[in-house]
């Protein structure tokens, strides 16, 4: 590995391999919806995206998180 040789003497080297899994189909045929494995992204970006995609597959439409005026009026 020429790139590692540029570093000189390495005291500790850490190498990890993480298995990541994802469903083989969209789950619509058998109504079995499976999420993907968690990954190393911060703030759960990919997990959140996976949940939104699952919602779309299950419900047939994107999840609408838009606040409506009538929803905010109840809090006042």
SS3 letters across 13-76: CCCCCCCCCCCCCCCCCCCCCCCCCCCCCHHHHHHHHHHHHHHHHHHCCCCCCCCCHHHHHCCC
| Whole-number pLDDT of residue 56 | 97
- Per-residue confidence (pLDDT) for residue 74, from 0 to 100: 61
pLDDT digits (tens, 9 = 90+) for 28-53: 999 999 999 988 888 889 999 999 99
Percent of the chain with pLDDT over 70: 95
Q: What is the pLDDT of residue 76?
A: 58
Joined together, the tokens standing for residue 26 give 């969209």
The answer to which of 9-13, 48-52, 60-64 has the lowest mean pLDDT is 9-13
Q: With a threshold of 0.85, does the pTM exceed it?
A: no
């Amino acid at each position: 590995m020429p790139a590692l040789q540029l570093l000189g003497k390495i005291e500790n080297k850490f190498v990890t391999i993480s298995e990541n899994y994802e469903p083989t189909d969209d789950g619509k045929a058998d109504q079995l919806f499976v999420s993907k494995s968690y990954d190393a992204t911060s703030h759960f970006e990919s997990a959140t995206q996976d949940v939104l995609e699952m919602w779309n597959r299950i419900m047939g439409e994107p999840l609408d998180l838009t606040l409506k005026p009538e929803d905010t009026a109840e809090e006042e």
